[in-house]
Amino acid sequence: MKRKWNWPVWGGFVFTVAGLFSYEFFARFPITRDFPWANFLLFGIGTAFLIVGLFRAFGRPQVYRGKIFGLIFAAIAVLVLAFFSYAIFYALRQVPASSGAPRVGQKAPDFLLLGQNGKPVGLGDLLSNSNGVVVIFYRGFW
Amino acid sequence: MRSFQRRLSEFDARGVRVVGISVDPPEINRRQSQKQGYTFPLLSDPKTKIIRRYDVLHPGAGPKGADIARPAEFLLDSNGIVRWVNLTGNIAVRARPDQVLEVLNQLTLAGQ
């Protein structure tokens, strides 16, 4: 008798991969970037599907297929989740202390740097005729 | 950066300027400005001179181990005095414009 296709195994794999590759999209929005709950939700759904699929494959092997793919996808899911968790909970948090950064009440160091139109822009220019300046240091697009 | 561009009119209305600083050369900043529609200055500090002066260097965190700036935000008053600083402990978590606007509202209320 032909055994049935064990779709939760494949569904779980698709959700796991989607959880990883959707990070670039979700990171565009602060609400899904500050803590990547949307990605973890996808991983959770993927894991649930994989567990269901593995129970089917190993619990009722005469009815369902998917033992080999189930194990391969489960292993991939564990690796993906481990890598993602490492990046989110460790790698992204390795930021220098910046203990020498200007503090509240101190004068901000002056600067004169080239702007995107190739003309120099100084802190003095920004401060003149303004009520203040928000200086944003960012990692850059390289 | 995109979020600050979206709320830029609210900073304009308060007479507060927004400026970005990174190691990117002016060509990259020009391209990014065109692509993302940034109308505030993006300044180029390829030798990390100013980035070091503000102690916001992230050594070796760039492409091929290059030194870059870590995310950091400073609010300066019209005298160039720091009124608020945000030094994130997580590269993915940066200051949002509403945070800075809230600080500006409080400073205005305090008569600064």
pLDDT means per 10 residues, chain B with 112 residues, are 95 97 97 96 98 98 95 97 97 95 88 59
Q: Give per-residue pLDDT as tens, A71-87.
A: 999 999 999 999 999 99
- Reduced to 3 states, what is the DSSP secondary structure of residue B58? strand
With CA atoms as reference, the chain A residue closest to B41 would be A115
Which residue stretches of chain A are H helix? Answer: 7-21, 23-26, 30-33, 37-59, 67-89, 123-127
Residue type for A68, please? I
This prediction's pTM: 0.89
Residue A136 contacts residue B4 (beta carbons within 8 Å)? yes
Question: In chain B, which residues have their Cβ closer than 8 Å to the Cβ of A139?
Answer: 22, 58, 61-62, 68-71, 91
Q: What's the confidence (pLDDT) of residue B112?
A: 53
Global ipTM: 0.96
Interface of A with B in 58-117 (CB under 8 A): 88, 92-93, 95-96, 98-111, 113-117
Say which of A36, A110, A140 has its CB closest to residue B22. A140
Q: How far apart, in whole angstroms, are the C-alpha atoms of residue B112 and residue B109?
A: 7
pLDDT category at A142 given cuts 50, 70, 90 is confident
Q: What's the confidence (pLDDT) of residue B26?
A: 97
Cβ pairs A/B, distance under 8 A = 214
Q: What's the confidence (pLDDT) of residue A1?
A: 66
The string of DSSP letters for A2-22 reads PPBP-HHHHHHHHHHHHHHHT
Q: What's the confidence (pLDDT) of residue A110?
A: 98
